[in-house]
Amino acid sequence: MALKTVEQYKQSLKDGRLVYYKGEKIEDVTTHPDLSVCVNTMAIDYEMAEDPKYRDLAVVEDPEYGPISRYYYTPKNSEDLLKAHELIVTSTTLSDGYIPLAHDIGADALNAIAITASMMGRQEYTERITNFRRYLQKNDIAICAGVTDVKGDRSLRPSDPKQAHPDFHVRVVKKDDKGILVRGAKIHITGAAYSNEVFVIPCRSLSEADKDYAVAFALPVNTKGVTMICRPFRSHISPLEFPNQRPVRVHTDAFIIFDDVFVPWERVFLCGEWKFAATMVYNFALLHRRTGCSYRVPLSEQLLGAATAIAEYNGIASAPHVREKLTELVIYLETLKALSKAACFDYVMHGGIAVPNPVTTNIAKYHFAHQYHEVVRIVQDLAGGLVVTAPTYKDWQLPELKDDIEKYLGGKAGIPAEHRLRMFDLIRRITNADLETIALHGEGSPYAERMTIYMEAQKLIADCKKVAENLAQIE
């Protein structure tokens, strides 16, 4: 078997995993009224592989296994990177702005580990991650990535005795000839509760004193000692909003606790090599930011579309200042799209794997995150105060109120009040505070991107300095 069907994916989740949600232990994530919505969102990756319309995009032919997920194919050139970018954009569009997540972020961790193993020159690690890639390809595994540690006192290193306890970062507590025992916790792990497995990698550079924290591995999420606590989320259209027949797409993030979890050696990809923790983090961040830029293209299109529609419905679309605002949104969207593609064309090779240009990728991610709140402000400004004060769908339904609501809340001639009210519902959903926080901190904060841009641009800066000195005839 090289590709799972949607039904096979869903059946694979019935494995006794330990998941908590809203204070309750969840027996089956596929039938839970909230978590099943997330399962269906992730299942879009599997649907695309079955759909003739998207199969060439979602699938690559492997000489040994036949069709495999493109995510687990090792990119070799700009064409491979552009195809992966297009796949993420398309899948997120089909999912109404939510990336499906069955393979993509796990693939970022997979490639980051493979690059690090190559740079280390450790044959056992190279063989392990190569074998694990084949396992993912052969079984079409849904795998997420656990990167961010809970950290404790962020001013202290993981091993600092001043930390309240030593488990704020995932660490190795025991080793033997069979494998390792790990303890700690990871936070912000999107999709973990309905993935098959999880990659765990460090989230920061480490010192020799921190070598027990230099650990990377993969394991099934139903492994003994793994507990996942999911953050509540909005999984259905509110009864106060206009009904919408489109299926709701959403994800939840998990807080994962590793309580002395055993990992066999064949699934360990870093263990004590503290100098390479930063290498793994760097490569994951680069690949993950590429993924982030890709899946935010459809979201940016939604924001532009909603702003355009509500400006028209409000009768202000022809006002010069409104055109200026819409132009800003076009510039925002098209800059993100151009930078994301340019990073693929101007790729570099890391450890035998083609990766998007590091400077361009980080500029694209910085552009998206840094300007996002201004984009939201423009959309909300064009919508006006009714986006938060308009009557609800329940009010509109009442016979004694409906005629007055239609009379007084209609906008431009020919635009029913219902259209405006529906657009207000959409704008509230796509500009909520959760999405703003994700845009700012997802794949790393804007300052993290700026640091990487400056670090990666040192040759560019030096070359430009040389140009200026030549012009000034300074040797």
- Which pLDDT value is given to residue 435? 62
75, 354 contact by CB (below 8 A): yes
Class of the CATH-defined domain 288-471 = mainly alpha
For residue 405, CA distances in Å to 151, 250, 260, 298, 389 come to 52, 31, 60, 33, 13
Q: Is the pLDDT of residue 434 over 80?
A: no
Quickly count: other Cβ atoms within 10 Å of residue 253's Cβ: 20
Q: Is the pLDDT of residue 219 over 70?
A: yes
- pLDDT category of residue 450 using cuts at 50, 70 and 90: confident
Quickly list H helices, 51-182. 55-58, 78-94, 104-120, 123-139
- pLDDT category of residue 442 using cuts at 50, 70 and 90: low
- Which pLDDT value is given to residue 469? 84
Percent of the chain residues topping a pLDDT of 70: 97
Mean pLDDT of 61-66: 89
pTM comes to: 0.92
Which sign does the torsion angle of CA 368, 369, 374, 377 carry?
positive
Chain-wide mean pLDDT for the chain?
A: 94
The secondary structure of 368-384 as a DSSP string is HHHHHHHHHHHHHHHH-
Q: 82: Cβ–Cβ under 8 A, 6 or more apart, which residues? A: 341, 344, 345
- Which pLDDT value is given to residue 295? 92
Region(s) of the chain under CATH 2.40.110.10: 6-278
- Which pLDDT value is given to residue 346? 96
Q: Is the pLDDT of residue 270 over 80?
A: yes
Region(s) of the chain under CATH 1.20.140.10: 288-471
- Which pLDDT value is given to residue 440? 56
- Torsion on CA atoms 30, 33, 37, 40, rounded to nearest 10: 30
Q: Which residues of 388-423 are buried (b: 16+ CB within 10 A; e: fewer)?
A: eebbebeebeeeeeeeebeeebbbeeebebbbbbbb
The larger pLDDT score, comparing residue 2 to residue 68, is at 68
What kind and span of H or E run contains 464? helix 458-471
Mean pLDDT of 245-257: 94
- Which pLDDT value is given to residue 436? 58
- Which pLDDT value is given to residue 438? 62
- pLDDT category of residue 215 using cuts at 50, 70 and 90: very high
For residue 414, CA distances in Å to 28, 313, 353, 420 come to 48, 9, 55, 11
Q: Which residues of 100-120 are buried (b: 16+ CB within 10 A; e: fewer)?
A: bbbbbbbbbbbbbbbbbbbeb
In the chain, the N- to C-terminal Cα span, in Å, equals 64
Mean pLDDT of 243-269: 96
One-letter amino acid at 6 equals V
Q: Is the pLDDT of residue 302 over 90?
A: yes
* Range of lowest pLDDT (185-189, 262-266, 428-432): 428-432
CATH architecture of 6-278: Beta Barrel (2.40)
**CA–CA distance, 392 with 220 (Å, rounded to integer):** 44
**CA–CA distance, 245 with 465 (Å, rounded to integer):** 58
One-letter amino acid at 430 equals I
Q: Is the pLDDT of residue 447 over 80?
A: no
Burial class (CB in 10 A: 0-12, 13-18, 19+), 331: exposed
Q: List the one residue out of 6, 12, 11 whose CA is nearest residue 43.
A: 6
* Range of lowest pLDDT (34-38, 205-209, 407-411, 442-446): 442-446
- pLDDT category of residue 464 using cuts at 50, 70 and 90: confident
- pLDDT category of residue 120 using cuts at 50, 70 and 90: very high
**CA–CA distance, 264 with 174 (Å, rounded to integer):** 12
- Which pLDDT value is given to residue 199? 98
Burial class (CB in 10 A: 0-12, 13-18, 19+), 20: middle
Kindly tell me the number of DSSP H helices and DSSP E strands found in the chain.
Answer: 17, 14
Mean pLDDT of 391-396: 96
281, 205 contact by CB (below 8 A): yes
Encoded tokens for 468? 């200026």
Mean pLDDT of 427-447: 71
Angle, nearest 10°, between helix axes 277-313 and 104-120? 150
